[in-house]
Amino acid sequence: MNNKNILIVDDSKENRVLLRMMLEDDYQILEAESGAECLALIEEDLPDLVLLDVKMPEMTGYEVCSTLRENSATESLPIIFVSALDSTEERLAGFEAGGDEYVIKPVDGTDLFSKIESCFNRQKVTEEANEQAQNNMRIALEAMTVSSELGQIIEFIKLGQEVNTALDIGQAVLSITKEFSLKASVMIDTDHRYFFGCDSDSMEAMFLAKIKETEERITSIGSRTIVQGDHIVLFIKDMPLEDESLVGRLRDHMASIMDIANSFVVKLNNEILQQQQRKQFLNEVIAIAETQIQQTSEKLAKQQQSSNEISQQMVNNLESMLFSLGLDDDQEETLMNLASDASFKLSNNAIQSDDIKQELNVIIERLKSMESTA
Amino acid sequence: MDKHWDKSALLKRVMGKEKLLRVLVESFNEEMPSRVVELRDEVLLCDAMTDNRESEHHQNIQLLAHTIKGVAGNLSGVLLQENANQLEQAAKQKTGNYQPLMENIESSYYILKGLFDEFLNLDNSNDNDDV
């Protein structure tokens, strides 16, 4: 005997006895003598198949069948009509009501067994097909989910054009982990060590720093998972362990995100390095320029002083020479004016060298300004 | 083939299960008498009415005749099945004047019942012989 339950529904005891005795060696048998009793029994305990008489008082087999088909729990329950009504119209009415098979009274045992087995086989095939369809649906949904998740990662990659600071990177990582419904914190090493999703003096921050000292790329401890790159550590606090397949996907996704985020940090570090080099270069240029200006200024000052002394000496010499030359007053005055004029022009040259010094200092100021904004 | 009881056809349908056959016959003897009486009463009441066109007796007669037809069919009571079918069809069309058809049913019923009693007695005596 197999463990399939068959419910026999017939208002005639003789018919129920006949069907029971035909089937009871092979199936578990239940009986109902009316449509109402049949529905009540089915509500209590769902059989595997119903043998349903058509013509019964109060509620016909067709009505019982239609009622069962309207209920999602019994919409695919195998139902075989057993009836003395053997016209084509009656058979069609049976199928229209939702019956799977139609057996004519008087019932032939062999025919009945064949139709019952046929129903069970069809049901098995249908169940397998449904299961397959559900599997296919699950796979399709999973593919769509993975595709959507990959879409999020692609969007994250696109952020590479926009992230310019460690803050941008940290916020982008926290944002994408949130989209995956994960709580996380991040540590990023650039010119400084930055923390996002936790305070820099918290235990969590210390833990992240400690993890950075290890070489494990992915570490899982219960629902916590740590993924690290060369310059970044991601700490996920609530991996959904109840869904193994999702956890596997999330680990892969987070590893990819860390690779991408790490490349952002590398790019950022290069930019910081270049900036520092530029600053250093400017500082060197400023130092050299300042020294040069200082030296030039000193040379100019010395040169100026020397010129002034020479011109003064020349004027003094000229004055003492004038007495011995025996010139008249006009001639002496003319020569003295020439000497004074030359001396005055030399003094003017000294003023211009101060202007040059001031102009060179403007360049120094510009360089310093560039250095501070670099 | 016996037009009253095609026993061999019945045995074939019940896959040779003699025990089942006996239970069915016993069940017939328990259930059928009251149905025949009930049907006869409905027929008498319906035929006695001067205007029975809207009477529910037609429906009751149809249902009872249908049940008797089915049970007789299951037991290969060929003539009773046929007579019950004639009354069922007549009641379906509300022809009235069902008494002659009822008499056919009763006649074939009693003959069939006699054959069943004979079978049960024979079966019992075989059992006793076995003892």
Instruction: Quote the ipTM score.
Output: 0.76
| Residue B128 banded pLDDT, cuts 50, 70, 90 | low
State whether residue A358 is helix, strand or coil: helix
| Contact present, B123 and B22 (Cβ < 8 Å) | yes
Cα–Cα dist A360/A9, whole Å: 113
Please determine, looking at this structure, whether the domain spanning A146-269 carries the CATH number 3.30.450.270.
yes
Section A59-83 average pLDDT: 93
What is the per-residue pLDDT for B125?
66
Token pair belonging to A276: 């520092």
Q: What is the mean pLDDT of chain A?
A: 88
Cα–Cα dist A286/A363, whole Å: 9
Per-residue pLDDT for A69 more than 60? yes
Section A274-279 average pLDDT: 87
Q: In what order do the strands lie in the sheet with A28-32?
A: A28-32, A5-9, A49-53, A79-83, A101-104
Q: Which of B10, B14, B69 lies closest to A84 in CB terms? A: B69
Lowest mean pLDDT among A126-140, A355-369, B41-55: A355-369
| Percent of chain A predicted with pLDDT > 70 | 98
Q: How buried is residue A307: exposed, middle or buried, by Cβ count under 10 Å (0-12/13-18/19+)?
A: middle
Q: Which residue has the tokens 């529910």?
A: B56
Residues contacting A269, CB < 8 A, separation 6+: A190, A191, A231
Residues contacting B7, CB < 8 A, separation 6+: B76, B119
| Contact present, A181 and A149 (Cβ < 8 Å) | no
Cα–Cα dist A336/A38, whole Å: 144
Per-residue pLDDT for B18 more than 80? yes
Residue of B50, B49, B74 lying closest to B60 (CA atoms):
B49
Q: Which amino acid is at A21?
A: M
CA separation, residue A54 to residues A46, A285, A337, B77 (Å): 20, 106, 147, 21
Answer whether A12 sits within 8 Å of B70, measured CB to CB. yes
| CATH fourth-level superfamily of A5-132 | Response regulator (3.40.50.2300)
Cα–Cα dist A253/A148, whole Å: 12
Taking one residue from A and the other from B, the number of pairs with CB-CB distance under 8 angstroms is: 65
Structural domains in chain B, sorted by start = 7-120 (1.20.120)
Q: What is the CA radius of gyration of chain A?
A: 51
Report pLDDT digits (tens) over B109-123: 999 999 999 998 876
Q: What is the pTM of this model?
A: 0.55
What is the per-residue pLDDT for B131?
43
Interface probe for B, chosen from A12, A14, A59 (most Cβ of B below 10 Å), is A14
Cα–Cα dist A323/A243, whole Å: 118
Answer whether A15 sits within 8 Å of B70, measured CB to CB. yes
| Percent of chain A predicted with pLDDT > 90 | 41
Cα–Cα dist A13/B33, whole Å: 13
Answer whether A17 sits within 8 Å of B27, measured CB to CB. yes
Answer whether B13 sits within 8 Å of A55, measured CB to CB. no
Interface probe for A, chosen from B7, B10, B12, B15 (most Cβ of A below 10 Å), is B15
Residue of A265, A238, A239, A233 lying closest to A251 (CA atoms):
A239
Cα–Cα dist A168/A186, whole Å: 12
Section A92-101 average pLDDT: 90
Q: Which of A14, A108, A109 lies closest to B71 in CB terms? A: A14
Q: Is B63 on the interface with A (CB under 8 A)?
A: yes
Domain ranges of chain A: 5-132, 146-269, 274-373
Q: Is B31 on the interface with A (CB under 8 A)?
A: yes
Residue of A52, A105, A80 lying closest to B74 (CA atoms):
A105
